[in-house]
Amino acid sequence: MSALIPPLHAMERGLGGEVNSRTLSDKLYNQFMMKDNNRHSKAASGSDFDRVRGFLLDMDGTFYLSDHLLPGAAAFLRYTGHAGIPVQFLTNNSSKSAAVYAQKIAAMGLDVPASQILTSGEATAQYLQARAPGARVAVFGTPELEQEFHRCGFTRDMQAPAYVVLGFDQTIDYAKLTRLCDLVRAGLPYIATHPDFNCPVAGGFVPDIGAIMAFVEASTGRRADVVIGKPNPHIVEMAAVRLGLPVEALCMVGDRLYTDIAMGQNAPIQTALVLSGETQPGDITDSPFKPDYVFENLAALVAALEAGTGMAGASKFSKPPSSV
C-alpha cells in the first residue's frame, strides 16, 4: 500500500460531512472550512511553482462553460502536451462516467481521453480499491456509479455489505433512503463521493448528495466517515496515484475558491484561480481560501507559462517546440 494511502479507519473517522455550498451562510461555511484547514500547514508558497510537474484542472467555469470552450482551453492542452506536463481533469459529479465527459469535450472539438478525467465516483472506487479490494459494497448511486464499482472489482451487495458508498443518486427513492439509513445506523463504514449540497442546472439547482447526507444524518446521527471529492484532499491523492506523481508536485487550476482553491489548500498543493467562471476578483479578499496565482482565464495562464514570467519559476517549464 502506498504511503499516500493510509488505512480508512485511521484517517477518516470524523472528517466526513465537509460542506462546500454557498447555500450555507458564508460565516458558517468559513468557520467550518477554517477549522478544517487548520489540520494542514501550507507547505507550498508562491516561490514553489517550479516544483509543479502536473496540473489538476477543474472543468466547468475553467475549461468550458456549459457547451463552449473557454479562452485558452485548447492552448492549455497544446502547451502542456508539448511540454510533457500531465493534466488530470477533476469533477465532483459522480452521476456520470469519465467517458461521458470525454464525449462532451469531443463535441466541443478537443480530444481528451476518458483516462484523463477523474470523477469523484471513480476516485471513490479507487480509494476503496486501495483499502478493501473486492469488498462487498452497498452502492447508492446511478447505474454509471454502480458500473464504476463493478469495473474496479467490487460486488454490489445491498443486503450484507462491508461498506456503504453514497453518490449523486438521481434514482434514489424512499425505499433506497430507508435502506441507506439502516446500513449507516448499523455502523458500517460510510463513504460519500463528494459533498455538494446542490448541483447547478439550467434554470437553477437540483438537490445533490450533501442534501441526502443531511437527511441520513437527521435520521441516524451519523455523518459520512469519508468524503472524497473537492474540497477534500482525497481526490488529489487519487489523481496523484493515477499520474504517478507525488501530491506536492501538482497544481490545481479552478474557478471556485471554496472547492478548487480550498482543496489545494487542504492537500496542500499549489493553486491557480481563473476568473472565467464563478469567482469575481473582489471575492478573493473576503475568502479564507487564497490562491497562489490568479489569472483572467486559461489563456492568461498559458501566456505566463510561455513567457516564463508572471509566475515565479514558470520558466522551469520546458518551452513547447513551436508556438501554441
Report the interface residues with Mg ion, using CB under 5 A. 58, 60-61, 255
Tell me whether residue 79 or residue 258 sits nearer to Mg ion (CB atom).
258
| Least distance between Mg ion and beta carbon 197 (Å) | 16
Cα angle, residue 247 at apex, residues 257 and 41 outer, rounded to 5°: 60
CB within 8 Å of 46: residues ≥ 6 apart = 292, 293, 312
| Least distance between Mg ion and beta carbon 46 (Å) | 23
Tell me whether residue 148 or residue 278 sits nearer to Mg ion (CB atom).
278
Residue with the closest Cβ to Mg ion?
Answer: 61
206 neighbors 199 (Cβ within 8 angstroms): yes
Tell me whether residue 60 or residue 208 sits nearer to Mg ion (CB atom).
60
Give me the numbers of helices (H) and strands (E) for the chain, helices first please. 12, 15
| Least distance between Mg ion and beta carbon 56 (Å) | 12
Any idea what DSSP says for residue 65?
E
Tell me whether residue 92 or residue 129 sits nearer to Mg ion (CB atom).
92
| Least distance between Mg ion and beta carbon 275 (Å) | 12
| Least distance between Mg ion and beta carbon 14 (Å) | 28
What is the total residue count of the chain? 324
Tell me whether residue 214 or residue 275 sits nearer to Mg ion (CB atom).
275
Beta strand spans in 106-156 (E): 117-119, 136-140, 155-156
Between CA 261 and CA 267 the distance in angstroms is: 10
Tell me whether residue 124 or residue 279 sits nearer to Mg ion (CB atom).
279
| Least distance between Mg ion and beta carbon 62 (Å) | 5
The beta-carbon contacts of 148-153 under 8 Å, at least 24 apart in sequence, are 148/97, 148/119, 148/121, 148/122, 149/125, 151/125, 152/125, 152/126, 152/128, 153/129
Which residue type does 109 have? G
